[in-house]
Amino acid sequence: MSEKVADLPWRRAEETSAGCEAHDAVVHMNAPDTTSRVLNLAEAAGFVRCSRSHLCNIVKGKVPGVPKLASVRIGRRVLFRRETLEQWLREVESTAFTRKAC
């Protein structure tokens, strides 16, 4: 039984150094580009350190006490300009003192 597991292609790739390099290349390909001027929903959520669903609620204006966030929709894709996110964060920070703390 253990011989069959060892013969699986992903098992062999993990055990060889070439496999690790290939895995690292895939991980780096899927990593968000932090220098891009336009971010998708997942990247923007990572940028502001919240979940995608919470960011969707902010975009829709459903979070009380938090200013609505501007976005661009292209079909199903929701895109954000990095500058808009940074400006929105500054706005949230400036109103943080007037809002009730947790």
Per-residue pLDDT of the chain (102 residues; tens, 9 = 90+): 555 545 544 444 444 455 555 545 444 445 555 578 999 999 999 999 999 999 999 999 999 999 999 999 999 999 999 999 999 999 999 887 665 655
What is residue 101's DSSP assignment? P
Model pLDDT, residue 14: 44
Distance (Å, rounded) from C-alpha 32 to C-alpha 77?
16
Asked whether the whole model's pTM tops 0.75, one would answer no
Rounded to the nearest 5 degrees, what angle is found at the Cα of 33, between the Cα atoms of 28 and 35? 135
Model pLDDT, residue 95: 85
Rounded to the nearest 5 degrees, what angle is found at the Cα of 66, between the Cα atoms of 35 and 31? 25
Model pLDDT, residue 35: 72
